[in-house]
Amino acid sequence: MVNTDAETRTDPGPAAGVRWDLSDLYTGPDDPEIDRDLDAAMEDAQRFAEEYRGRIAELSPEALASAVDALEKIHERATAAAAFSQLIFAADTATPRHGALLQHVQERCTALRTTLLFFQLEWVKLEDAPATALLDAPPLSGRRHFLAALRRYRTHVLSEPEERILEEKTNTGGRAFSRFFDELVAAMRFRISGPDGTTRELGEEEVLALLYHTDRDQRRAAADSLTQGLRANARPLTFVFNTLVQDKAVDDRLRGYAQPIAARNLANEIEDESVDALLEACVGHYPLVVRYYRLKARLLGLERLEDYDRYAPIGVDTGAIGFDEARQIVLAAYGDFAPELERAATRFYEGRWIDAELRPGKRGGAFCASTVPDAHPYVMLNYTGNLRDVMTVAHEIGHGVHQYLARERGLFEQDTPLTMAETASVFGEMLVFRRLVRTERDPKMRLALLCGKLEDAFATVFRQVAMTRFEESLHEARRTEGELAIERINALWMDANRPMFGDSVNLRDDYGWWWLYIPHFVHSPFYCYAYAFGELLVLALLHRYDEEGDDFVPRYLDLLRAGGSDTPHALLARVGLDITDPGFWNGGLQLLEDLVTEAEALAAAD
């Protein structure tokens, strides 16, 4: 809530002027080409339906391959419009024209999807024997995984009239509430007093950045400000959460998913048992988190950390890191590994494919969005200039490079399931971390870098697992208890987070409100465990790289180029990893424990 007695501002920060150029898609929200492309896509879809409706089961392998090619081209035209509308809205949620365009394109894309819905339904209803014969035919070798992946949903699709109704109602249901969440959070301002006594109203990213401040009073003030802002908006945000969780419960019931996480696991092409093994392995290593934060308390001269101390920097404050300096750090680290990675990453800067400055109305957080193979991905950041933001740049550029290299797979196979989506991003972070450590000679700075990396890794592994546990309890409680009071959800959040920290961090009651701003719960339920998957997977990849040296590089690049053209299990087998091994996750967790041991040794030597 904005207090008019305080100064309202959003400083553009160290990345002032770094805005993306979306003209490779369209010139602006009023570009007539948007509707021309949507019109052309719909005309092609109608012709496609006239030619193929009711005939999928009788198509030859050659005819089915041609049908998939035509289907992909139709979707490419619509995807360009959809991507543009989502990007322009994320960059400025406060401009009504952007929201109107997003809604318009969503409605047009819904009409397109319902026109083409018959293809998937007819394909998945085909009996296994003839379907397998088609999939094994040489003309379909390039489409085998796409078609096989569709059949995973065979027991979960409904009739065509039912599917059409669900798709059309989503624009005024789940998608509408997700958009409302983005607009509400982007408009929020958090009142905070500075060391000089002045009071300001900051955006979400600015107040979150203060949690990394060297001054403890500033960290506490930021945490208190975040809590106050969330509490002031808790009623509408809680209603959004309750509504979307129930919406998912209805969808899961209609589609026959046994548990709330099941649909995400199916989309991620991973077995429920494998996800359970991942979560249990991480929870079993919660004592490692406790061990580290006890060390951090000693390094900060505190008996015990408060929740607002978790991200306190260790060592000397290096000040704000300019965006150009961050660029140099990231590109150098990528180039050390493979010049091809550096060249691909450089295109994001030279082509203005990045939006990094802070602005009122801009969506919080960071993401990389793939678009269409004929264009390229775009990266959105809210860059405040701390070392963690440099790692965020490396992370999102990693996503971008992955998507850019995989675009040759075509629209249907350029994107990976979430289980593989974090591979290049986390790998990029680790490349930057290793380069910084390798070039740093001061033991205190090496310790600071190591602590920062551990905290990032813990946020990527253990915090994401805690958030997944929260989601599990949230969805279960909503299904058994009905609409949940704010206090009930706060308690579920605290119950999921306290075991991770044990007695090493005091989570104040205020921390119970901090689930309210996390977008993954709204946009992509059960996304979070994919971060843990990605971090531990990357540790295994780095171990393989350390063993094989330069011989590993081309196989890693081939893995990125493969995109989502096969299952995660099959793709990772190409680089010698077996994620079906129950002990696979323990290897990565052991490497994290080794880093904690190294940090303890550096601290003892100080």
Return the domain boundaries, the chain.
Answer: 31-172, 323-445+530-605
Amino acid at 65: A
Q: How would you class 438 by CB atoms within 10 Å of its CB: exposed for 0-12, middle for 13-18, buried for 19 or more?
A: exposed
Residue 306's nearest CA partner among 503, 456, 512, 469 is: 503
pLDDT of residue 317: 64
Q: Of the given ranges (268-272, 330-334, 366-370), which has the lowest mean pLDDT?
A: 268-272
The torsion angles phi and psi of 465, rounded to 5 degrees, stand at: -70, -40
In contact, 379 and 403? CB cutoff 8 Å = no
* Strand (E) or helix (H) holding 227: helix 216-232
Residue 64's nearest CA partner among 139, 160, 151 is: 139
Q: What's the rounded Cα separation, in Å, for the pair 351 and 329?
A: 19
Q: Going along 289-437, which residue ranges are E strands? A: 305-306, 354-355, 367-369, 378-380
pLDDT of residue 176: 95
**Secondary structure letter of residue 368 according to DSSP:** E
Q: What's the rounded Cα separation, in Å, for the pair 513 and 494?
A: 9
pLDDT of residue 138: 97
Any bridge partners for residue 7, and if so which?
200
| Other beta carbons within 10 Å of 14 | 21
Q: What's the rounded Cα separation, in Å, for the pair 60 and 343?
A: 42
Q: In sequence order, which residues have a C-beta less than 8 Å from that of residue 574 and are 6 or more positions away? A: 555, 558, 559, 562
Residue 434's nearest CA partner among 567, 295, 332, 520 is: 332
Higher pLDDT, 386 or 266: 266
In contact, 278 and 581? CB cutoff 8 Å = no
pLDDT of residue 371: 97
Q: What's the rounded Cα separation, in Å, for the pair 539 and 542?
A: 5
Helix and strand numbers (H, E) in the chain are 26, 8
Pairing status of strand 190-193 against strand 199-202: antiparallel
Q: Of the given ranges (53-57, 428-432, 602-606), which has the lowest mean pLDDT?
A: 602-606
In contact, 199 and 193? CB cutoff 8 Å = yes
pLDDT of residue 589: 93
Q: Using the CB atoms, write b or e for 144-169: b if 16+ within 10 Å.
A: ebbbebbbeeeebbeeeeebbebeee
Going from the C-alpha of 550 to that of each of 410, 554, 555, the distances in angstroms are 29, 8, 10
Is the four-CA dihedral 347, 99, 468, 498 of positive or negative sign?
Answer: positive
Residues above pLDDT 90, as percent of the chain: 86
Whether the pLDDT of residue 9 is over 70: the answer is no
pLDDT of residue 444: 86
Q: How confident is the model at residue 6 (pLDDT cuts 50, 70, 90)?
A: very low
**Secondary structure letter of residue 173 according to DSSP:** T
pLDDT of residue 316: 65
Q: How confident is the model at residue 169 (pLDDT cuts 50, 70, 90)?
A: very high
As a CATH number, domain 31-172 is 1.20.140.70
SS3 379: strand
Whether the pLDDT of residue 605 is over 70: the answer is yes
Give the model confidence (pLDDT) of 434-457 as tens digits. 999 898 888 888 899 999 999 999
Any bridge partners for residue 21, and if so which?
none
For the segment 280-306, the average pLDDT, to the nearest whole number, is: 96
Q: What's the rounded Cα separation, in Å, for the pair 486 and 498?
A: 18
Any bridge partners for residue 202, and if so which?
190
In contact, 161 and 171? CB cutoff 8 Å = no
Give the model confidence (pLDDT) of 88-129 as tens digits. 999 999 999 999 999 999 999 999 999 999 999 999 999 999
Give a three-class secondary structure readout of 477-541: HHHHHCCCCHHHHHHHHHHHHHHHHCCCEECCHHHHHHHHHCCHHHHCCCCCHHHHHHHHHHHHH
Q: What's the rounded Cα separation, in Å, for the pair 360 and 397?
A: 24
Whether the pLDDT of residue 4 is over 50: the answer is no
Give the model confidence (pLDDT) of 36-91 as tens digits. 999 999 999 999 999 999 999 999 999 999 999 999 999 999 999 999 999 999 99
The torsion angles phi and psi of 271, rounded to 5 degrees, stand at: -75, 150
pLDDT of residue 445: 87
pLDDT of residue 333: 97
Higher pLDDT, 4 or 309: 309
Q: Of the given ranges (31-35, 147-151, 483-487, 535-539), which has the lowest mean pLDDT?
A: 535-539
Whether the pLDDT of residue 477 is over 70: the answer is yes
In contact, 606 and 447? CB cutoff 8 Å = yes
Q: How confident is the model at residue 2 (pLDDT cuts 50, 70, 90)?
A: very low
Q: Using the CB atoms, write b or e for 130-140: b if 16+ within 10 Å.
A: ebeebbeeeeb
Q: How confident is the model at residue 5 (pLDDT cuts 50, 70, 90)?
A: very low
| Model pTM score | 0.88
Give the model confidence (pLDDT) of 175-226 as tens digits. 999 999 999 999 999 999 877 778 889 999 899 999 999 999 999 999 999 9
pLDDT of residue 442: 86
Whether the pLDDT of residue 3 is over 70: the answer is no
Whole-angstrom distance between the N-terminal and C-terminal Cα of the chain?
46
Pairing status of strand 354-355 against strand 367-369: unpaired
Rg of the chain (C-alpha set): 24
What is the average pLDDT score of the chain?
A: 93
Give the model confidence (pLDDT) of 142-156 as tens digits. 999 999 999 999 999
Q: What's the rounded Cα separation, in Å, for the pair 309 and 301?
A: 12
